[in-house]
């Protein structure tokens, strides 16, 4: 059985804070952008799955080839894109401009393909 590390404790604290924020977003007491709520929940999942005992318990069931790690990295790409998209959308509303091309969903797809490509090239055992 794996034990908690200091990094695991930090991840638990961050996940707790993100949970409080997600609840506030869901209730409408803070910014009501649904994309930010989805990104918030995705990062809670990332942090919880990165905790040593949880990762050690789940990854072997997925073949022990870091599939869980791949999944969390793909969620982080999605979260980064969603936060960027929300930021650009908000700024565009303020300055009445069109969003730039680099925030197009295809960019997130290309990033995910790069993460998957790296995973396959590194061939985790």
**71-113 residue pLDDT tens:** 999 999 999 999 888 887 777 777 766 656 556 788 888 888 9
Question: Dihedral of CA 86/89/92/97: which sign?
Answer: positive
* d(C-alpha 31, C-alpha 72), whole Å: 25
Helices then strands, counting H and E runs in the chain, come out as 5, 0
Cα dist from 15 to 19, 20, 39, 53, 58, whole Å: 6, 9, 13, 15, 18
Mean pLDDT taken over the chain: 86
Range of weakest confidence among 6-10, 21-25, 55-59, 104-108:
104-108
Range of weakest confidence among 9-23, 39-53, 104-118:
104-118
Specify whether the CB–CB gap between 76 and 114 falls below 8 A. Answer: no
**Domain range summary for the chain, segments of one domain joined by +:** 6-122
- What does the pLDDT read at residue 93? 73
């Amino acid at each position: 059985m794996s034990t908690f590390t200091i990094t695991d404790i930090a991840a638990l604290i961050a996940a707790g804070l993100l949970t409080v924020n997600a609840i506030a977003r869901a209730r409408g007491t803070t910014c009501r952008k649904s994309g930010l709520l989805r990104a918030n929940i995705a990062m809670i999942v990332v942090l919880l799955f990165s905790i040593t005992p949880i990762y050690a318990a789940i990854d072997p069931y997925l073949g022990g080839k870091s599939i869980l790690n791949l999944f969390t990295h793909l969620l982080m790409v999605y979260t980064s894109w969603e936060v960027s998209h929300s930021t650009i959308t908000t700024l565009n509303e303020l300055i009445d401009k069109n969003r730039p091309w680099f925030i197009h969903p295809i960019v997130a797809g290309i990033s995910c393909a790069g993460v998957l490509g790296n995973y396959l090239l590194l061939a985790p055992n």
